[in-house]
């Protein structure tokens, strides 16, 4: 199976709410909810985002564009992206934020703030 088909298979049927339920169940099974405060989750999100930045820190723009061509580095990038997304989804869950609705509303605001004519 090609890499793109494998990726499609892994995400088939997943949605944000389903992933948030899995994350909540994972934390509940380990009694970690007590630590999942907005402050702690925001801090964890920042740390994981920093770990993603660390991968690219000393790469040239050209090297950074090819990072996914190297199997070991691609795995590191994917793991850090997953960590960032996991903490972001948990943060949204705790605060009752619909992440997709928030993103859609932000795009709407940006389309008004940054019209195509003035962007170039």
**pLDDT at site 1:** 43
Domains plus CATH for the chain? 3-119 (1.10.287.1080)
**pLDDT at site 10:** 63
- Match 């994981």 to its residue by tokens: 48
Q: What is the C-alpha to C-alpha distance for residues 2 and 5, in angstroms, rounded to an integer?
A: 5
**Res. 11 pLDDT band, cuts 50 70 90:** low
Query: Measured at the alpha carbon of residue 100, what is the angle toward residues 44 and 14, in degrees to the nearest 5?
Result: 85
pLDDT at 22 over 60: yes
Q: For 69-98, what is the mean pLDDT?
A: 96
Handedness of CA 101, 48, 20, 36 (dihedral sign): negative
- Mean pLDDT score across all residues of the chain: 91
**pLDDT at site 3:** 53
Full-prediction pTM beyond 0.75?
Answer: yes
The predicted-structure confidence for 63-78, as pLDDT tens digits, reads as follows 999 999 999 999 999 9
**pLDDT at site 118:** 74
């Amino acid at each position: 199976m090609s890499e793109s088909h494998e990726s499609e298979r892994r995400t088939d049927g997943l949605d944000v709410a389903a992933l948030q339920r899995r994350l909540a169940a994972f934390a509940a099974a380990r009694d970690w909810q007590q630590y999942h405060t907005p402050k702690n989750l925001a801090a964890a999100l920042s740390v994981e985002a920093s770990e993603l930045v660390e991968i690219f820190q000393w790469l040239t723009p050209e090297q950074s564009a090819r990072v996914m061509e190297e199997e070991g580095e691609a795995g590191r990038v994917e793991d850090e992206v997953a960590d960032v997304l996991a903490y972001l989804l948990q943060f949204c869950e705790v605060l009752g934020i619909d992440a997709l609705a928030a993103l859609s509303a932000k795009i709407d605001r940006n389309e008004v703030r940054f019209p195509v004519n003035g962007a170039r």
